[in-house]
Amino acid sequence: MALSAGTRLGPYEILSPLGAGGMGEVYRARDPRLGRDVAIKVLPESVASDPDSLARFEREAKAVAALSHPNILSIHDFGNQNGTAYAVMELLEGETLRGKLDSGPIPQKLAVDYALQIAKGLSAAHEKGVVHRDLKPENLFVSKDGHLKILDFGLAKRVEAIAPGKETSAPTASGHTQPGTVMGTVAYMSPEQVRGLPVDDRSDLFSFGAVLWEMLAGRRAFSGASAAEVLASVLRDVPPALPPAGGLADALADVAGHCLKKDPGQRFQSARDLVFALHAAESAGSRPVLTPSRGRAPERGPSVAVLPFRNLSPEKDSEYLSDGLSEEIIHALMKVEALHVAARTSSFAFKDKAEDVRAIGEKLGVRSVLEGSVRQAGGRLRVTAQLIDVTSGYQLWSERFDRTLDDIFAVQDEIARAIAGTLRVRLLGESSAPRAAVLRDPAAFDLYLKGRFFFNRRSPKQAIEAFEAALARDPAFAAAYTGLADAWGIHGFYGGIDTRVAFARARTAVEQAKALAPDAPEVAMSFAIQEHYFGWDFAHEERELHAAQEAAPQLAAPHYWLGIMYGLQGRLDEARPFLERFRELEPFNPLAWTAFGWSFFSALRFEEARDSFARALDLDAHVRLALNGFGRSLLMLGDPMAALEPLERLVGVAGRDSSYAVGMWAEGLAAAGRAAEARAALESLRVSGSYVSATHVVNAELRLGEREAAFTSLVRAVDERNALAWWWVRHEPGLTPLREDPRFPALAARIVPAR
């Protein structure tokens, strides 16, 4: 019987129907305790009225709820009210993989992305002893942002008759199918399921192979006019060979074929092995195959990726020089409107990886790749560089430069001009003045490169020292002032210095940069970042970011900051196009998914936040903002034990002297019931002698039940202009209880621009 709007199941209020299937009806419902919408699946009466089936369902629901993996649909709760059995799950927005397959084959790169997400979800489940047994496109859901979830783990396990009219029976206590019954949907069942034999996780890998084959071919691997014919095809047939397409498609077809072996012993022996094979296919298959139909590079304009130059210097601390030279060449080439240049973070994602440059170029979507090396010995410098065509693998240009360190500007200019000449584009617009004529002191530039190196590693103290040393040698160095302002900004954000001091010094530096280079997009961005953290003049922040975006359309950073600005303010629809554009420009930058995560978090969409943070950590497991967001999303989803792992990793990355990391970890400890350890962590910050931002400890204090102390901390955060204190006051979901305090409106009214 269908449920009407307003019906209550336990604490949940039914809002509207979402759909129905063999395992019951699904509804959108409201969870008033956490203020979020959820999905509720009401199980068929045949399950609810059978004690054995219901007990089995509850056991499986508990097992799945314990998985907590971003590629598996989360089960929040289950219950039985007046004979109505139900499961409460996260609410998803998007469509099933079946909906996408209705339009034909899935594009190769998207297919490998989906395949990897499925395989990772299966691996997590199999390691916990949970087998799906009904993997099919209808049980794979793709959200609007491309995140894939496996549905109905434990809920979709049901028996079906082999032939119409044949009586079905439930699994035995051992979990094996009784003779005459089969599990799952016939076109995706493994041969052992068809025969009614015991199954293990390798059965899911067969079903995975059928799904992958269908993504590539656009039709089912096994078909027939009746269920019996389909089952016979599963037992007898090998799917037709896919037309040779070369590259990634052929590599994926090999993986699918290995999964579809009739004998389980000849398949991959674990989902973990499958994940490894997919990564190998992605890497090897991305190399272009020169066939008559694919012998030319993709039809796109001139494009290049500058890989980080290798440091061959005897002193390993010279790495800043090789990284810096690469960045400066990227910066120079990005001024060419006719040339597409892969962004710095995406190119640097391949640093120290032994991967063919042709494969890298294909992944970054460019026609050419520049690689090189730097060797510094005393005042001497040797730079080698070569430009490689991605399609053919042939060298388009190469050169070796033996110079002094004083000639570094001339070297980077010559490389940039050589690339522009080779690719037949004009460099630096109307100006042909060499960089060396603009900046005369090579020692100051060397110190500036050190500053950028430490900034990229989020070591603000060393970055500040290097930038200040550069400015002592060259007080007219605008880029060094911008770097100094940004370094003070992250120092104030992560803690260890009074944020009022950080803000004052950052603003002074950026104003000096503005006086020297009033139209530079980096200066506009730096102004906006200081407002975002400390100044709280959001109209000014928005103006500066749009100015930077218009001045440098190829620059990815303005899109990131516009997206995170709108996202943290809860304006998700306005944030999305900027974040999607940033992700296009920086496909290997984990900050794209991190920014999506915080935007969802601010909108109280914690499942989507958790999943976005997980994708960021797949790209780089050490991103502090993503570790914090992943852990805190799990806290908001009511899973403190799972949250502790990423929060402990955050402390490992940032260090125990970081109030940002230790404060968030303390919140996780308190939520997990480890109050004594949480208090000890907070006490370690208080006795450290370093400045501790109140925003870093307020959540932990509230979790410990110290409501008055938490409110006092929130007041101090506003008084001392802690970084993002405006967000904690207006949007931080963990502080909802403090907003009921009668003193809160007066506190919120103090979120005003700095004067």
Do 109 and 83 belong together in one domain? no
pLDDT band at 290 (very low <50, low <70, confident <90, very high): very low
Domain boundary among 59, 91, 123: 91
360: in domain: yes
Residue 82 falls in which region: left (phi positive, over 0), alpha (psi -120 to 50) or beta: left
693: in domain: no
632 has pLDDT over 60: yes
pLDDT digits (tens, 9 = 90+) for 221-246: 998 888 888 999 999 998 988 776 56
pLDDT digits (tens, 9 = 90+) for 323-348: 888 888 888 888 777 788 888 888 88
Do 315 and 392 belong together in one domain? yes
Do 273 and 309 belong together in one domain? no
Sign of the torsion formed by the C-alpha atoms of 379, 382, 387 and 388: negative
| Number of neighbours of residue 35 by Cβ within 10 angstroms | 10
- Which 8-state DSSP code applies to residue 222? S
Task: Tell me which residue range forms the domain holding 175.
Answer: 93-286
Q: What is the pTM of this model?
A: 0.65
279 or 608: whose pLDDT is higher? 608
User: Which residues does residue 343 pair with via DSSP β-bridges, in sequence order?
Assistant: none
pLDDT of residue 220: 92
Which candidate in 31, 77, 134, 250 is catalytic?
134
pLDDT of residue 130: 85
CA 368 to chain CA centroid, Å, is 27
Which of 11-15, 123-127, 362-366, 591-595 is predicted least confidently? 362-366
Instruction: Say whether 134 is catalytic.
Output: yes
Q: Is residue 598 within 8 Å of residue 564, measured between CB atoms?
A: yes
Q: Give me the number of domains the chain comprises.
A: 3
Distance CA 572, CA 603 (A): 7
pLDDT of residue 529: 94
Distance CA 417, CA 332 (A): 9
In 3D, which of 646, 635, 711 has the Cα closest to residue 673? 635
Do 240 and 161 belong together in one domain? yes
Q: Quick one: angle between helices 521-530 and 478-494, nearest 10? A: 20
| Number of neighbours of residue 593 by Cβ within 10 angstroms | 25
Do 85 and 116 belong together in one domain? no
Distance CA 447, CA 467 (A): 7
pLDDT band at 734 (very low <50, low <70, confident <90, very high): very high
464: in domain: no
pLDDT of residue 1: 62
C-alpha R_g of the chain:
29
Type and span of the H or E element at 89 = strand 84-90
In 3D, which of 333, 331, 405 has the Cα closest to residue 375? 405
Domain boundary among 48, 68, 91: 91
Q: Give the CA distances from residue 524 to residues 513, 531, 690, 736, in Å, rounded to whole numbers and listed in that order.
A: 10, 11, 31, 34
647: in domain: no
Distance CA 242, CA 262 (A): 19
Do 210 and 233 belong together in one domain? yes
385 or 488: whose pLDDT is higher? 488
481: in domain: no
pLDDT digits (tens, 9 = 90+) for 124-164: 888 888 888 889 999 999 988 788 999 877 544 433 333 33
Q: Which of 6-15, 288-297, 435-444, 581-590 has the highest mean pLDDT?
A: 6-15
166 has pLDDT over 60: no
Give the pLDDT mean for 38-55.
80
Give the pLDDT mean for 606-623.
90
- H-type helices in 176-302, by residue range? 191-194, 201-217, 227-236, 247-259, 271-285
Distance CA 71, CA 211 (A): 16
Q: Is residue 656 within 8 Å of residue 684, measured between CB atoms?
A: yes
Which of 103-112, 408-417, 442-451, 679-688 is predicted least confidently? 408-417
| Number of neighbours of residue 637 by Cβ within 10 angstroms | 20
Which CATH number characterizes residue 336's domain? 3.40.50.10070
Distance CA 339, CA 355 (A): 24
Q: Is residue 90 within 8 Å of residue 74, measured between CB atoms?
A: yes
Give the pLDDT mean for 655-676.
95
Domain boundary among 438, 466, 485: 438
For the purposes of burial, counting CB atoms within 10 Å of the CB of 755, is it exposed (0-12), middle (13-18) or buried (19 or more)? exposed
492 has pLDDT over 80: yes
Do 15 and 76 belong together in one domain? yes
Provide the mean pLDDT of the chain.
84
Number of H helices, E strands in the chain: 32, 17
Which CATH number characterizes residue 184's domain? 1.10.510.10
Give the pLDDT mean for 596-618.
92
532: in domain: no
Q: Any residues with CB less than 8 A from the CB of 519 and at least 6 apart, and which? A: 551
Which of 55-69, 475-489, 668-682 is predicted least confidently? 55-69
pLDDT of residue 175: 35
Q: Is residue 357 within 8 Å of residue 371, measured between CB atoms?
A: yes
Do 268 and 129 belong together in one domain? yes
pLDDT of residue 248: 75
pLDDT of residue 462: 94
User: Which residues does residue 159 pair with via DSSP β-bridges, in sequence order?
Assistant: 183
Do 244 and 389 belong together in one domain? no
Do 169 and 219 belong together in one domain? yes
289 has pLDDT over 60: no
Do 255 and 120 belong together in one domain? yes
Q: Is residue 453 within 8 Å of residue 323, measured between CB atoms?
A: yes
pLDDT of residue 333: 85
In 3D, which of 330, 271, 236 has the Cα closest to residue 557? 330
Which CATH number characterizes residue 32's domain? 3.30.200.20
User: 3-state DSSP: the chain helix, strand, coil percent, rounded to 5?
Assistant: 55, 15, 35
238: in domain: yes
In percent, how much of the chain has pLDDT > 90? 46
69 has pLDDT over 90: no
Q: What is the amino acid identity at position 290? A: L
Do 24 and 108 belong together in one domain? no
For 175-200, what is the HEC assignment? Answer: CCCCCCEEECCHHHCCHHHHCCCCCC
Give the pLDDT mean for 400-409.
81
pLDDT band at 204 (very low <50, low <70, confident <90, very high): very high
pLDDT of residue 432: 39
Give the pLDDT mean for 605-619.
91
169 has pLDDT over 50: no
617 or 332: whose pLDDT is higher? 617
178: in domain: yes
pLDDT digits (tens, 9 = 90+) for 643-652: 999 999 999 9
116 has pLDDT over 70: yes
303 has pLDDT over 60: yes
Distance CA 26, CA 47 (A): 15
pLDDT band at 443 (very low <50, low <70, confident <90, very high): confident
pLDDT band at 22 (very low <50, low <70, confident <90, very high): low
Q: What is the largest CA-CA distance in the chain?
A: 89
Distance CA 321, CA 315 (A): 11
